[in-house]
Structure 1
Amino acid sequence: MSRLDRYSLPLSTTSDLAAERYQAGIDLLLSLWPGAAQTLDEAIAADPDFALAYAARARLHAIRAEVTEARAKIAKAMDLVARNGTERERSHVEVVSFAIMGQAPKALAGALAHTDRWPRDIVILSLPLGAFGLFAFSGMANHNQARVDLCERHARHFEADDWWFLNYRGWAHGENGNIQLGRSLTQRSLEVRRHNVNAAHAVAHVLYEAGANDEAEVVISNWLPEYDKSGILHSHIAWHAALIALERGDTDRALEVYQEHVAPSVSLGVPINVVSDTSSFLWRMQAYGYTVPAGMWDAAATYASGYFKQAGFAFADFHMALVAAATGDKVALDQRIDALIALVEAGNLPAGSVVPEICRAALAFAEEDYGRCAAILEPVAGDVVRIGGSGAQREIVEDTLLVSLMRSGEAAKARALLDKRLHRRPSPRDTLWLNRLRAA
């Protein structure tokens, strides 16, 4: 007799312990809370033939960038589910396998088809969602709207206080510009399940988009101490606190947070977060006119040198370009740009030509050729969304354009961009810049 998960979906295991440990492990996995690995291992130990437990464990390995282990676990799951899985479980494992094996278009198509039949299978529904989900990294220009559409299509299948769905629905709306709805949903998700890293992360983002820096700082400072430093997003949520301080012009506080939580020497996050958070923080600090302390860029570059050596992962490519530009590694940056152009010409870079262009712009900015930087960025600014990540992460491109406009004497264009940004959200930094331009 099969057991049921929290959403009343049958599980092909005869072990009550395996089913219970699996459900607990899924909740930890989807809230990114420490303990998921041990809990899912306990499910496997209770039933060594439980395919979905292996698939979930593979997914966690993949999130942690443990590629070899992820592929081994998903291969085991594929073997088991072929022998004793239901139709849903076979589809579930196949979609996870596509994602782990780097077949993103198949994974996205499979996830959408799967959730049309089994919308409450939240492991699969989670795959297209989030800042690093299949939609975000699909190269689509409208991935923010696609996430909203997916959530709204399936909203009727979830209870009003479902902590998991509240969060991802809120994230989707917040990133798509409906800040009020995004804020209410994500904050409710965090209330229902406080030990939910994805909800704390989403609240930080939606408060950032609302310009509610004081509230965001309180949320982060109250919540982060409960989350172990080994947690996947610990350093990234601290990065949000560093950005809040930087926006206020409090560089001492910003650097304190960076050195305690974000720097490569202290962060226990996964490589994509460490590379993007370190490079984007230091780049912002420098672009805003502050001095980056000696050695910080070199430390970021040393860490980054071990990862993302091959061009083709657009979000990583841009942040690797920031590191190379800031440290004067023009050879590495030129090689990456050439590789990206070749991928575009071959039709093998979903995000398209915006990727090599923003990498070229980074080099121009670092070389203090602000007119050229602005000329490169202005035509492609609307396509930056295609590299994925969050709005807060991508805003660094617009910041670079804005500073380039100010420094190249394009005051009218800079004022127009600042005015547009300030109509979207309050910002003490943007207000200061606009007042300076008006006074000039």
Structure 2
Amino acid sequence: MAHTDRYDFPLSTSSGVAAERYQTGVDLLLSLWPGAEEALEAAIALDPAFALPVAARARLHAIRSETTIARALVSKAQTLVSVNGTERERSHVEVLSLAITGQSAKALAAALTHADRWPRDILILSLPLGAFGLFAFSGMADHDQARVDLCERHARHFDDSDWWFLTYRGWAHGENGNIQRGLCFTERALELRRHNVNAAHAFAHVMYEAGASDSAERFLDGWLPEYPRSGVLHNHIAWHIALISLERDDIEGALNIYNANVAPAVTTAVPVNVVSDTSSFLWRLQAYGHSVPKGMWEDVAKYSAAYFQQAGFPFADLHMAMISAATGDKEGLQRRSDALVKLVEAGKLPAGPVVPALCDAARAFVEEEYARCAQILEPVAMEVARIGGSGAQREVVEDTLLVALMRSGDVHQARALLDRRLHRRPSPRDTRWLSQLVTT
């Protein structure tokens, strides 16, 4: 008897139980819920020649930034699938291999080609999507629109009961500014599978972009306790709650959430989330005019010293630059900026000149050269999407520009930027700032 997954793709295994365990593992992986590794391991134990659970385990380890084991597993999967695999399975493993071995441009092209032929192969369709997907880290300025286009191109292959597709379709529309569609799809995804971290995360982002921070906080306060602290996004979702507290000027509450969930000493998140969440929270706190408690920046710098030392990962470069700037590491910041300029000149940094510019702006800001900071940021503000991540994560750059404009005395430009932000997303912090400018 031939075994299939829930999208009716044939699976190259003689064990029905192995097929079931594989499907369970993929669902847990794509919802980022604990238990995926155990389910995939069970599938492998039941049929050691079955390549797909080995490949899915490789993807799981790659998500956790466990690169060495991810590469070893995907190599094993390639060997297995070459002996016992369908054409789709061989392509599936090859795309994962390209992504896991760092061949991002080739992986993106291969994933899109694979999706055109097998659009319901969701583990591959997932690769270009999300804040840390292949589109986001491609260096494209319009990757938000690219995600929408990809989802809409294949929407006819999914129905209203597909929690996975609804999650990413909602995320794509919400990040691209279509708040109503984003809310509709992510709410439906959560109704279908509440223990779906990606849907909860997407819903929080859409609510944030809608300016509905209080509603987002109520949802996350009720949902987060159901998610084990060991979950890969537990700390990042808590970061969202801390930002909401910070936005309404509840500094004590924001710091309590940070210290309990986000700080390097307590987090279980992957390094890119730890570095970005800690640095962007503390940078915002400081930029908003509040004191960062003693030792916090140093703790972040100590943690980050083990990661992202080589320039060329733009999303990490921004946050490492903020850490260097905030802790007075001028030499480290200059090395990174110089290395990024060389990569741009050599045509090896798809995100382009915006990345070294962000490093230079961070230094100008902490040195209180606010006019120079604004002068650096204004020409590249529309290009910041090239570094990847989400709108909420990248907003720290626009916050920096806005504060620099206000502190440099450029009231006209500051008010114009605030007006645009408030039109896009109501914010109690921006409302307070606008009120201060009006009375200036």
* Structure 1 residue 294, shift from structure 2 partner: 0.4
CA distance in 2: counterparts of 1:378 and 1:310, whole angstroms: 27
1:350-389 → structure 2 map (5 Å cutoff): 350-389=350-389
Q: Which residue of 1 aligns with 2:233?
A: 233
1:17 Cα deviation from its structure 2 partner: 1.1
Matches for 1:199-348 after TM superposition, within 5 Å:
199-348=199-348
Displacement of 1:191? 1.2
**Where in structure 1 are there 5+ consecutive unaligned residues?**
none
Q: Is structure 2 residue 196 aligned with structure 1 residue 196?
A: yes
Aligned to 1:168: 168
The match for 1:181 is: 181
Deviation at 1:363, TM superposition (A): 0.6
Deviations 1:169-188 (A, max 9, x none): 00000000001110111111
Post-superposition offset of 1:411: 0.3
In the aligned structure 2, how far is the partner of 1:229 from the partner of 1:266? 10
Q: Does structure 1 residue 132 correspond to structure 2 residue 106?
A: no
The alignment status of 1:101 with 2:98, answered yes or no, reads no
CA offsets 1:238-280 (integer angstroms, 9 cap, x no match): 0000000000000000000000000000000000000000000
Question: Counterpart of 1:28?
Answer: 28
CA RMSD, Structure 1 to Structure 2 (Å):
0.5
Partner of 2:148: 148
Identity %: 70
TM-score, L = length of structure 2: 1.00
Partner of 1:418: 418
Q: Distance in 2 between matches of 1:275 and 1:99?
A: 22
User: In structure 1, how many angstroms separate the alpha carbons of the residues matched to 2:203 and 2:173?
Assistant: 12
Q: Which amino acid aligns with 2:401?
A: L
Structure 2 partner of 1:405? 405
The count of residues paired between Structure 1 and Structure 2 equals: 440
Equivalent residue, structure 2, for 1:123: 123
| 1:97 to partner: Cα distance | 0.1
- Counterpart of 1:266, as a letter, is V
Report runs of 4+ in structure 1 exceeding 3 Å deviation. Answer: none
Q: Which residue of 1 aligns with 2:112?
A: 112
Report the AA paired with residue 252 of structure 1. Answer: E
| TM-score, normalised with respect to structure 1 | 1.00
Q: Deviations over 1:103-151 (max 9, x none)?
A: 0011000000000000000000000000000000000011000000000
Deviation for aligned residue 1:2: 3.0
Deviation per CA, 1:193-228: give whole Å up to 9, x if none: 000000010011000000001100111100000111
- Per the alignment, in what secondary structure is the counterpart of residue 131 of structure 1? coil
CA–CA distance in structure 2, aligned partners of residues 145 and 371 of structure 1: 33
Letter in 2 for 1:83: V
SS of the equivalent of 2:174 reads helix
